[in-house]
Amino acid sequence: MSEKGLSGQLVPRHVKPQTDELLSSWLTRVSLAHGLQPRTFGSILWPAKALWTGDIDRRATPEMLSILAQKTATSRRQALATTLRAYEGTLWEDGGSSRSRHWLLLGTIQGQRRDRPGLQYCPQCLRTDATPYFRRCWRLGFVTVCTDHHCYLLDRCPACYDPVNFPLLPYDTDTITRCYQCQLDFVGVESRALDTSQGHQRLVAFQTLLLQALANGWYPLAKNQMVRLSDYLRVVRHLGRLLLTHRDADHQRAQLCRRLDQPYFIPCWPASKAWALEGLSVTDRFRLLLLLAWWLEDWPEQFITVCLDHLIWPRDLLRHMPSPPQWYEHTVQKVSWGEALKRAMQAYNDAQNVP
């Protein structure tokens, strides 16, 4: 289709975004519906924008969304809901700070590294879709499993091992679910099922609560205690980085894996350690979140016990964390040698009283 063919008020095919569809997924479906490569379609729609050289899902401006909404006869509200910016106010408090990238997988950027996965997918979801599409929540770092189909998410093509890369799909691709490199259709791929172990079920429940909290911005920390989701995720990310980048991270991770009867793992670093968590593969994030979901269960007792048992002290729990949430700082202060001694004495007395 020529550029002239897209110069009217509406494009010929009014492809609408699906429920929780990611902007780049929607835009790619619109492009392919018109027989155009996504990069070509984007240059026609926004001639002055280097569309695919950055993270369009995060950086699309209101003006860009307005044009796309107008051309596809879609409401602006629907268009905004496809972006990662729509998470502002729940996932982060201040979208203008560096935290606006926290928990967002580091997307593949053209002209830089093409081998870095920035989008996950569930083959069974794609298979059951009337019109296959990629979900917005599949860009979130704390999402590693499909809670509908109880299976692991994938972040690469299982045939050629390349990541999902919409801009490089050929113009004549028949479906968005094909690998741009080898043309394998992800719809036919099988993903490993989760088992019924307590650890896997705990992780499913943890992820479910986090996704539900995106609706109103509040997370159920403990019985009768709700905290801001953005604060809670700051804490989860901080603890995750503690198990990844701290000088004793390998030892602490090994101890927790042994405690949970999980295999020890050494994370593969595909990106700068400044974004260590967001740059991990879905497999490594899954293993890390298994540990975090257990550590944060039954707050605050479980957290304090794990810290004392494994000698994780306040200086590390608070280091590089400016203005920590009050509920977190208050709990961290209970992690002390005095508390450790008190608990040891209590355990000793309990043992002495056993007949």
pTM of the model: 0.90
pLDDT average, residue stretch 290-298: 98
Does residue 114 have a pLDDT over 70? no
Let me know whether 173 and 267 are in one domain: no
Q: In the predicted model, what is the mean pLDDT of residues 263-279?
A: 82
**Residue showing tokens 């650890």:** 199
Q: Decide if 195 is inside a domain.
A: no
pLDDT tens track for 156-210: 999 999 999 998 999 999 999 999 999 999 999 999 999 999 999 999 999 999 9
Position 116 confidence tier, pLDDT thresholds 50, 70, 90: confident
pLDDT at 241 over 90: yes
Quick one: 174 and 206 in the same domain? no
Residue with tokens 């009337």: 130
Contacts of 342 (CB under 8 A, 6+ apart): none
Output the pLDDT for position 341.
Answer: 66
DSSP states of 288-345: HHHHHHHHTTTTTHHHHHHHHHTT--HHHHHTT-SS--HHHHHHHTT-SHHHHHHHHH
Q: What pLDDT, on the 0 to 100 scale, is given for residue 4? A: 42
Query: Strand 225-228 to strand 145-146: parallel, antiparallel, or no bridges (unpaired)?
Result: unpaired
Q: 161, 188, 215 — which closes off a domain?
A: 188
23-37, 230-244, 262-276, range with the lowest pLDDT: 262-276
Whether 194 is covered by a domain: the verdict is no
- So what's the pLDDT on residue 48? 74
Give Cβ neighbours of residue 343 (< 8 Å, ≥ 6 apart).
Answer: 305, 308
For residues 347 and 265, membership in a common domain is answered with yes
Based on the number of CB atoms within 10 Å of its own CB, is 236 exposed (0-12), middle (13-18) or buried (19 or more)?
buried
Number of domains in the chain: 2
Looking at residue 111, its pLDDT comes to 41
User: Residue 27: how many CB atoms within 10 A of its CB?
Assistant: 28
Q: Which pLDDT score is estimated for 1?
A: 43
- Where residue 298 falls (left for φ over 0; alpha for ψ -120 to 50; beta otherwise) is left
Range of the domain at 36: 4-188
What residues contact residue 48 under an 8 Å CB cut-off, 6+ apart? none
